[in-house]
Amino acid sequence: MQYLAAGLRLPTNGLDYTILAIYFIVVLGIGFAARASVKTSLDFFLSGRSLPAWVTGLAFVAANLGATEILGMSATGAQYGVAVVHWYWIGAIPAMVFLGLVMMPFYYGSKVRSVPEFLLQRFDKSAHLLASVLFAFAAVLIAGVNLYALSIVVEALLGWPQWVAIVVAGLFVLAYITIGGLSSAIYNEVLQFFVILAALIPLTILGLKRVGGWDGLTSSLKTSHGDNFLSAWGGTGIGQANPLGANWLTIVLGLGFVLSFGYWTTNFAEVQRALSAKNLSAARRTPLIAAFPKMFIVFLVMIPGLVAAVLVPKIGTPGSDLTYNDAIPMLMQELLPNGVLGIAVTGLLAAFMAGMAANVSSFNTVFTYDIWAKYVKKDQPDGYYLKFGRLITAIGVLASIGTAFIASSFSNIMGYLQTLFSFFNVPMFVVFVIGMFWKRASVKSGVWGLFAGTTAAMVNYFWIYKQGVVSIPTDQGANFVSAIVGFVAGAVVMVLVTLFTAPKPASELAGLVYGTKSPGVEEPPAEGDAAWYRRPALLGWGAIALAALCYVPYSF
């Protein structure tokens, strides 16, 4: 994992550091101020299910807008060109809308406190335990990898030694989550969202100005990289060659359907934001509100990537000392004067910490509610789980600090592990949709679907692709194909197992399966939720239509 090249040291001065210091103080202040609201474990892990939709919606985007995502997607832009829009318009929006319109009533209405807890309600303990343990491991690992990436970037840009960056950022995250719980994490994510915009918008504008505007950008790239570099679908016919190494079918099915639905609808670090909303309407609107900024953020990462490809045509090739990941830091160094530079550095650090915090705040919830309270220490008073939650948060952060140090010496192993865990997301989605839409799907089919899907995706990736049994041009393309294979295998095995095992009694499925309702009191709609601009269907279909429109200028 070589993130940044040497020689990118930023000319930061006292002004920039003042801006950074103010941010760190505010981050801690939010933690302490949120402390007064933490009375029960539900306050600590899910903000007492009380937040307004715009807050949870922005946190939903920000939890995904970590710095690895920002640097990574602008790198994708510099490498593959306009095709990076697929990760947003087809690879995020439809899944987010599906989560809000279709799945959220089951998640929020059934009052589960985590994604694995839904599996326990719908299937059985084996599916639940498998999903909980894997999620907990993956969350700590990803938090550690985030921390390690942060340390490399901070070392390159600011010249701090890696261990200082790892320890300082880790301890800040530890402090504000242990003290203020999820409310503190979510509030910081909302703040980070705006700081990141304040950093990326000036960078994008100046970058465009540097290469002669959009027209200058496109004409330079057409000459140097060819027409397909500026088209979303150019060269993606089946059998044609394109830099992405994927055709339209694997993009639509693999990325747009399986991978993106797996990530956005079953990754608890995301879904948790919606579960902390104050009522069902706000929970449904969470991913829908998030869809709108998500759709346009792509311009703020793609354009810097494209600009970098113009300024350094050899970027990322063996002849250049700049890697694709350097696109944004390089533009920061070249274009931003002190002041905005401080905002940009703050934005990047904030994004790294928020990316880590999202994982830590979902890890502690799953570990406490799903592992500890269900299998280790059952039926304790709520105060016990609140205390335990704080303890496990600290342990989780220390474990990810450890992971970050391990990653700095064995980075290949970490990359490998991440790929491995990513294959687990795929069958999660198949198990969830089948579980939610097919009443007959049996209790045992859950865990077998998870097993079969994961195994099939891994076999396809590590054996069929890596050993060259079938040739697929790039890792990216192979990833898409593996996702489709995992999905199909999971679905087939679930159906087969269901045919031979007993269904769940209908009385226990209320509120968990399509066409049933949770018993319990209907909550009255909150005042103002009937306003037209708050109607989930309008927001959802509006987002889909807008994303489709966005494709038009890049498709012909």
Q: Which chain residues interact with other proteins by CB under 8 A?
A: 15, 18-19, 22-23, 26, 29-30, 33-34, 36-43, 47-51, 55, 110-113, 117, 121, 183, 187, 190-191, 194, 198, 201-202, 205-206, 209-210, 278, 334-340, 342-343, 382, 508, 518-520
What is the smallest separation between the CB atom of 292 and other proteins, expressed in angstroms? 17
**Closest distance to other proteins from the beta carbon of 206 (Å):** 6
Name 432's Cβ contacts closer than 8 Å, sequence gap at least 6: 103, 118, 265, 266
Task: Kindly state the smallest distance separating residue 109's Cβ from other proteins, in Å.
Answer: 10
Nearest approach, Cβ of residue 175 and other proteins (Å): 17
Residues with Cβ within 8 Å of 419's Cβ and at least 6 positions away in sequence, in order, are 461
* Residue among 344 and 356 whose Cβ is closer to other proteins: 344
Q: Which is nearer to other proteins, 225 or 278 (CB)?
A: 278
Cβ atoms of 352 and 195 within 8 Å: the answer is: no
* Rounded least distance, CB 195 to other proteins, Å: 8
Q: Which is nearer to other proteins, 514 or 554 (CB)?
A: 514
125/278 with CB nearer other proteins: 278
Residue 70 vs 97, nearer CB to other proteins = 70
Angstrom distance (rounded) from CA 487 to CA 254 = 9
Distance (Å) of CA 502 to CA 221, 433, 443? 60, 19, 7
The nearest distance, CB 153 to other proteins, in angstroms, is 21
Closer CB to other proteins, residue 336 or residue 478?
Answer: 336
The residue among 43 and 270 lying less far from other proteins, judged by its C-beta, is 43
- State which H helix or E strand residue 456 sits in: helix 445-458
Helix, strand, coil shares of the chain as percentages rounded to 5? 75, 0, 20
- Residue number with CB closer to other proteins (11 or 415): 11
Interacting residues of 387 by C-beta distance below 8 A, sequence separation 6+: none
**Beta carbon nearer to other proteins, 63 or 97:** 63
Q: How far is the CB of 325 from other proteins (least distance, A)?
A: 23
Q: Are 267 and 95 in contact (CB under 8 A)?
A: no
At CA 48, angle to CA 26 and CA 537, rounded to 5?
95
Taking the complex as a whole, the smallest distance from the CB of residue 494 to other proteins amounts, in Å, to 24
Give burial (CB, 10 Å; 0-12/13-18/19+) of 253.
middle
The DSSP 8-state label assigned to residue 503 in this structure reads P
Dihedral class, residue 161 (left if φ above 0, else alpha if ψ from -120 to 50, else beta): beta
Quote the CA–CA distance of 266 and 288 in Å, as a whole number: 16
- Min dist CB 267 to other proteins, Å, is 21
How far, CA to CA in Å, does 57 sit from each of 278, 377, 384, 422, 429?
12, 34, 31, 24, 21
CA distances from 359 to 367, 378, 431, 465, 470 (A): 12, 25, 22, 30, 35
Q: Which is nearer to other proteins, 25 or 391 (CB)?
A: 25
Q: Which is nearer to other proteins, 367 or 405 (CB)?
A: 367
> Which residues, 6 or more positions from 318, have their beta carbon under 8 angstroms from its beta carbon?
none
Task: Calculate the alpha carbon distances from 120 to 33, 334, 518 in Å.
Answer: 35, 53, 16
| Residues contacting 30, CB < 8 A, separation 6+ | 176, 180, 184, 187, 188, 191
Backbone angles phi, psi at 336, to 5 degrees: -95, 125
Which residue, among 326, 327, 355, 336, has the nearest Cα to 16 in the 3D structure?
336
CB-wise, 114 or 362, nearer to other proteins? 114
CB of residue 394 vs other proteins: minimum separation in angstroms? 22
